[in-house]
């Protein structure tokens, strides 16, 4: 009989196995030392002590060492001698939360071998002797491949899928196939129970009226909820790549509702999803037909000469450029400017910038730069790849492999309600921001026929960033304070791009950081910042009140003789679906 079948102490067998493994690794180490001339040492940096070949050998040695330790631990676990898994998922990785991934040796082995191989692939990319941007691009695409190859994404290697199929007598697989066919018809992955929501029903419900529209926007005036309102109206400019109702999700979860309740005259732009008749619209059209025209309408209705402006994400970039156009014209129409998770300096754009290079922009310019549509579902998929495990593969598994019906979640419904853009506008934006970073350079761009210099905008500035934002890195948003405005205030919210912004005070969730000293780098600012529990909204409201021009009796009706009510909020444009 061999050692596998001998009736003896399994620990004796394991000890001999480990000794053999250690001897093998010693021999490999000695061979490596002879090859590179250095025993037991790693290169100080790529290309210094080791050649690329020797570096690869050294990495292979590390990998084989880890594989050996992994198999050693797996063998011990198989004999139930008790040992902790050699490789563990990163914190927050929900793919392997089912207990079978820990308790069943087969699935535990699959999980650990996948995680170990993923780590090796990341190490290979990190050791590549290429420039920094190329390395970041390699890292991004390697992550896409690694995420796609997870054993949790395949029915034969996911214990939850197999268990669900058995429990439902394969009904889950039939339902999953039906879900897949429906999503192929839609051209996108369904991530939310869309039947649970209706824009104007349980979303975008703050009372108001559409009092102006053109080919690109509808302008909403919200009904006051207080007897007195701020004399200076607030114009909100949401991102044009999303529907506006992220800022008005529902009662008790609405920034618009909060601003109205604080006694503000609130006006908001609702962008139209691009259709063929506006497929020729340019960046300048988005400025002139967007915030610039909206400011004139708001001033006319409120009988004022200035407005408070607030821009969110791309809406903040658009509003900042509109402010620079006004400054170039010598027109002082802004009392204050608030920027929420907005980039003006595109030197560090996070992962999304890795998808934009000269080739990709030139291709877009050749195809839709002279006219055409960038479909909203393409933008949505691109943003989904930034967090593929959470925004793509999770729903592939739940919907297609397990046949589940998605949950009802308002944020995901909004995120799935995509917006298309005119090709010329999109091409100008990507070239002058992500590709060439022109906005921050005085005179580098011409907008609305004028040379643009953000530093000419002399308006009190409030800048909010989100600490875990994967779309607008908070350090990039931090630099906005140096490019425009006066007396800037910077606030850092907890969480990500959306949840950091939408955080009603009544929920008493998350926190934010404050530090009045802005003459420092972002890291130093955070190191000395004070963490404040709860929402940042009251801080913004207090800042706005410090720049108040007084209050007046609330208007009794929406609009005026020139700009009458067209239809109730939320209006038609927000209900239009992107094709």
d(CA 343, CA 316): 8
Q: 3-class SS at 416?
A: helix
- Scanning the structure block, which residue is given the tokens 């002139």? 288
CB 501 within 8 A of CB 466: yes
The HSE-up count of residue 436 (CA atoms within 13 Å, CB side) is 15
Of 187, 194, 298, 286, residue with least CA distance to 236 = 298
CB 218 within 8 A of CB 573: yes
The distance from CA 399 to its chain's CA centroid, rounded to whole angstroms, is 23
DSSP characters for 115-178? HHHHHHHHHHHHT--S-HHHHHHHHHHHHHHHHHT-GGGSGGG-HHHHHHHHHTTTHHHHHHHH
CB 447 within 8 A of CB 286: no
If DSSP states are collapsed to H, E and C, what string results for 78-119?
HCCCCCCCCCCCCCCCCCCCCCHHHHCHHHHHHHHHHHHHHH
> Exposed/middle/buried for 358, CB within 10 Å: 0-12, 13-18, 19+?
exposed
- Scanning the structure block, which residue is given the tokens 């060439």? 436
Q: 3-class SS at 193?
A: coil
Bridge partners, residue 513, by sequence? 492, 531
Catalytic-labelled residue, pool 313, 321, 427, 448: 313
Q: Is 313 a catalytic residue?
A: yes
The distance from CA 64 to its chain's CA centroid, rounded to whole angstroms, is 36
User: Does an H or E element contain 487, and which?
Assistant: strand 486-493
Collect all residues with Cβ–Cβ distance below 8 Å to 311 and sequence separation of at least 6: 236, 237, 291, 317, 318, 319, 320, 337, 338, 339, 340, 342
The runs of H, that is alpha helices, within 307-434 are 314-329, 358-368, 376-385, 388, 394-395, 410-416, 423-430
d(CA 240, CA 325): 19
CB 529 within 8 A of CB 518: no
Phi, psi of 296 (to 5 degrees): -65, -40
Residues that are catalytic:
313
């Amino acid at each position: 009989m061999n050692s596998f079948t001998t009736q003896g102490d399994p620990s004796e067998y394991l000890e001999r196995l480990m000794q053999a493994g250690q001897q093998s690794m010693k021999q490999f180490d000695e061979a490596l030392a002879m090859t590179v001339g250095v025993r037991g040492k790693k290169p100080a940096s790529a290309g210094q002590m080791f050649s690329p070949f020797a570096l690869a050998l050294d990495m292979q040695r590390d990998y084989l060492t880890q594989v050996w330790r992994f198999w050693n631990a797996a063998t011990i676990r198989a004999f139930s001698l008790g040992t902790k898994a050699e490789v563990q998922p990163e914190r927050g990785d929900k793919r392997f939360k089912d207990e079978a991934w820990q308790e069943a040796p087969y699935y535990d082995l699959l999980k650990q071998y996948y995680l170990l191989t993923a780590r090796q692939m990341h190490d290979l990319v990190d050791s590549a002797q290429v420039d920094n941007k190329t390395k970041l691009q390699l890292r991004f695409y390697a992550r896409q491949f690694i995420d796609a190859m997870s054993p949790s994404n395949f029915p034969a290697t996911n214990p939850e899928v197999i268990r669900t199929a058995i429990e439902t007598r394969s009904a889950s697989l039939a339902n999953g196939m039906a879900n897949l066919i429906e999503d192929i018809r839609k051209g996108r992955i369904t991530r939310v129970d869309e039947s649970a929501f209706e824009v104007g029903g349980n979303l975008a419900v703050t009372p108001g009226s559409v009092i102006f529209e053109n080919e690109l926007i509808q302008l909403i005036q919200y009904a006051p909820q207080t007897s007195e309102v701020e004399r200076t109206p607030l114009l909100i400019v949401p991102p044009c790549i999303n529907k506006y109702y992220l800022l008005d999700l529902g009662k008790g979860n609405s920034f618009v509702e909060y601003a109205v309740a604080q006694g503000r005259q609130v006006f908001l732009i609702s962008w139209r999803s691009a259709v063929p008749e506006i497929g020729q619209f340019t960046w300048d059209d988005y400025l002139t037909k967007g915030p610039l025209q909206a400011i004139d309408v708001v001033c006319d209705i409120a009988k004022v000469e200035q407005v408070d402006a607030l821009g969110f994400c791309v809406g903040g970039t658009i509003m900042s450029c509109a402010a620079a156009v006004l400054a170039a014209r010598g027109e002082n129409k802004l009392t204050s400017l608030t920027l929420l998770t907005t980039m003006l300096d595109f030197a560090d754009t996070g992962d999304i910038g890795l998808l934009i290079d000269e080739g990709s922009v030139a291709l877009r310019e050749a195809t839709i730069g002279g006219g055409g549509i960038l479909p909203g579902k393409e933008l949505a998929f691109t943003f989904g790849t930034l967090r593929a495990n959470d925004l793509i593969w999770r729903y592939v598994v739940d919907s297609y492999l397990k046949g589940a019906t998605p949950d009802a979640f308002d944020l995901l419904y909004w995120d799935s309600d995509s917006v298309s853009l005119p090709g010329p506008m999109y091409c100008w934006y990507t070239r002058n921001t992500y590709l060439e970073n022109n906005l921050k350079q005085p005179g580098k761009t011409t907008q609305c026929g004028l040379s643009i210099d953000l530093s000419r905008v002399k308006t009190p500035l409030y800048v909010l960033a989100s600490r875990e934002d994967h779309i607008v890195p908070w350090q990039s948003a931090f630099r906005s304070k140096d490019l425009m405005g006066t007396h800037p205030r910077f606030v850092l919210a907890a969480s990500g791009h959306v949840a950091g912004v939408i955080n009603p005070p009544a929920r008493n969730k998350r926190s934010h950081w404050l530090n009045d000293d802005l003459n420092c780098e972002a890291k130093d600012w955070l190191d000395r910042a004070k963490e404040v529990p709860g929402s940042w909204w009251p801080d913004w409201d207090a800042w706005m009140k410090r720049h108040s021009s007084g209050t007046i009796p609330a208007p009794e009706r929406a609009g005026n003789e020139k700009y009458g009510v067209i239809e109730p909020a939320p209006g038609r444009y927000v209900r239009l679906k992107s094709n």
